[in-house]
């Protein structure tokens, strides 16, 4: 299972939110490149970068930060947040993104998102399936998690899997930034009902012990944010996990 630390960006700075609420913003480092280099020094190969300004503005904003990290590290970066147009995608890939994540666009403009899958291939395009849990399993959220759609989580993923999507980042918004553990049962249900799928768990990771459990569940990757920044999981622990693989 791939270890994928997260860097969320507001005003060019490395921040974390709780449940996607911009009012809960906490700045962890003024220089995201410094953080990225620490990850790379720990043997980590992958990075998840979210342009939170872009998510709010519905267009790419912090591509300079992406370019800086991509040009000064060897990290393979998946980039998301506000990617709404062909031009946004060109900027992201030209700035050094290895993959891009589309969430809101996959809900609101299926035609353009499907055209990206056709143009760039399923290795380059990740489906962002961010959801609020409910009795049916979950409803997909959009626009930096500011809006809830009527789309149900598993049918939404299954529909795009049939259209060629391989990679899905699935975030339980109710758990994001809460440090209370991830949605093990939901990930298990998704992987049971939608196959084949490279599912990347995101949201709620609180301790190192949860990582092997997600691997056992069949998750292809795990995104870890606040648990690293709040020293709940050390880079040394992640380095040892990667070496043991």
Residues known to be catalytic: 8, 130
The beta strand positions in the chain, using DSSP E, are 2-10, 13-18, 21-29, 46-51, 76-80, 99-102, 125-132, 139-142, 147-152, 167-172, 198-202, 221-224
* Alpha-carbon gap, residue 212 to 209, rounded angstroms: 6
Q: What angle do CA 133, 25, 207 make, to 5 degrees?
A: 60
* Alpha-carbon gap, residue 209 to 205, rounded angstroms: 9
- Of residues 126, 134, 230, 207, the one with CA closest to residue 174: 134
Backbone angles phi, psi at 71, to 5 degrees: -85, -20
* Alpha-carbon gap, residue 164 to 216, rounded angstroms: 25
Backbone angles phi, psi at 167, to 5 degrees: -100, 130
């Amino acid at each position: 299972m791939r270890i994928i630390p997260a860097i969320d960006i507001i005003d060019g700075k490395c921040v974390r939110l709780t449940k996607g609420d911009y009012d809960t913003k906490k700045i962890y480092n003024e220089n995201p490149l410094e953080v990225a280099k620490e990850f790379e020094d720990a043997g980590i190969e992958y990075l998840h970068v979210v342009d939170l300004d872009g998510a709010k503005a519905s267009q790419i904003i912090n591509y300079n930060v992406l370019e800086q990290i991509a040009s000064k590290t060897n990290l393979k970066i998946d980039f998301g947040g506000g990617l709404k147009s062909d031009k946004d995608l060109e900027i992201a890939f030209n700035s050094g993104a290895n993959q891009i994540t589309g969430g809101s666009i996959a809900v609101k403009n299926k035609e353009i998102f499907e055209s990206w899958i056709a143009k760039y291939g399923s290795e380059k395009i990740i489906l962002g399936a961010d959801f609020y849990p409910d009795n049916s399993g979950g409803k997909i959220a959009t626009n930096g998690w500011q809006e809830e759609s009527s789309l149900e989580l598993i049918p939404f993923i299954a529909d795009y899997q049939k259209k060629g999507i391989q990679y899905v980042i699935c975030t339980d918004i109710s758990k994001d930034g809460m440090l209370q553990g991830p949605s093990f049962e939901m990930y298990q249900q998704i992987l049971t009902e939608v196959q084949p799928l490279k599912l990347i768990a995101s949201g709620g990771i609180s301790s190192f012990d949860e990582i092997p459990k997600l691997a056992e569940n069949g998750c292809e990757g795990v995104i870890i944010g606040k648990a690293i920044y709040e020293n709940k999981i050390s880079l040394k622990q992640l380095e040892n996990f990667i070496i043991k693989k």
